[in-house]
Amino acid sequence: MKELFDFDNSFYHSTGVLSGFLAGLDEAGRGPLAGPVVSAAVILKKNININKLNDSKKLSPLVRLSVYKEIIQNAVDWKIGIVDHQTIDRINILEAAKLSMKIAAEKLSIQPELILIDGNQQIDVKINQKAIVNGDSKSASIAAASIIAKVTRDLLMEELDKKFPNYGFSKHKGYGTKYHINAIKTYGPCEIHRKSFKPVRVYGQNG
């Protein structure tokens, strides 16, 4: 989507402020009842276009995987930040999501001049940043980060499904579907469930 790239290019061209790189930052996995929260920081090459790039939630799994591969080919740099279920329970999901974004941003081998972050929260890094509500539908870099984060987390949950086959993680990726809730009622929470999340606390008592 050309308008996503136009949005990012405006930071380079309209003010002339950016002489370095722009990074997009987004997370996946704030809502699920199990598994980690995963963030991605992505620096795309300047003046490129990636066909079908969009907010990860607006793409089918097959298209999302195809675009994921294209992003990797057209990224100057990209990194992942992962915060596990135990940390989520300890510091809460909002702080865990911000921590995962901080980890991803600080792992970049090239420090960006500006980070565009999806949402309304900034993070604790010494880099200029701008929070953009619905940024994954506005910015190419944030959309790219949303796809990298989503695909990475989905693959992690598919691997965890092999270790905990009773819960169907490969199907719902840890979200609170009827199937998942019924599995928690039947078997109780497993090792990777977020014990601080109400459905796990409530329905897990019956396991």
pLDDT tens sequence across 56-81: 989 999 999 999 999 999 999 999 99
Task: Determine the structural domain holding residue 105 and report its residue range.
Answer: 2-162
Q: What is the pLDDT of residue 197?
A: 96
pLDDT range class, residue 203, cuts 50, 70, 90: confident
The answer to whether position 193 is within a domain reads no
Q: What is the pLDDT of residue 47?
A: 80
Q: What is the pLDDT of residue 189?
A: 96
Q: What is the pLDDT of residue 19?
A: 60
DSSP 3: H
**Hey, how many other C-beta atoms are within 10 angstroms of the C-beta on 1?**
18
Asked if 59 contacts 52 with a C-beta cutoff of 8 angstroms, the reply is yes
Asked if 137 contacts 73 with a C-beta cutoff of 8 angstroms, the reply is no
pLDDT tens profile 139-149: 999 999 999 99
Q: What is the pLDDT of residue 207?
A: 47
**Both tokens assigned to 116:** 């565009």
Q: Span 153-182, mean pLDDT?
A: 97
Asked if 184 contacts 173 with a C-beta cutoff of 8 angstroms, the reply is no
Radius of gyration of the chain (CA): 18
Q: What is the pLDDT of residue 9?
A: 86
Q: What is the pLDDT of residue 66?
A: 95
- Model confidence at 95: pLDDT above 90: yes
The answer to whether position 137 is within a domain reads yes
- Nearest CA-CA partner of 173 in 79, 64, 72, 67: 64
Count how many residues are written for the chain: 207
| AA letter at 169 | F
The answer to whether position 173 is within a domain reads no
The answer to whether position 182 is within a domain reads no
Q: Span 185-206, mean pLDDT?
A: 91
Total tally of structural domains belonging to the chain: 1
Beta strands 37-44; 22-28: pairing state: antiparallel
The answer to whether position 67 is within a domain reads yes
CATH of the domain at 146: 3.30.420.10
- Nearest CA-CA partner of 97 in 107, 114, 83, 117: 83
What is the layout of strands, in order, in the sheet containing 22-28?
75-83, 37-44, 22-28, 114-118, 129-132
Question: CB-side exposure of 43: number of CA atoms within 13 Å?
Answer: 18
Per cent of the chain over pLDDT 90 is 85
The answer to whether position 177 is within a domain reads no
**Hey, how many other C-beta atoms are within 10 angstroms of the C-beta on 3?**
10
**Both tokens assigned to 98:** 């911000």
- Model confidence at 206: pLDDT above 60: no
Q: CB within 8 A of 26, min separation 6: which ones?
A: 39, 40, 101, 117, 118, 135, 136, 142, 143, 145, 146, 149
pLDDT range class, residue 16, cuts 50, 70, 90: low
pLDDT range class, residue 181, cuts 50, 70, 90: very high
Q: What is the pLDDT of residue 2?
A: 83
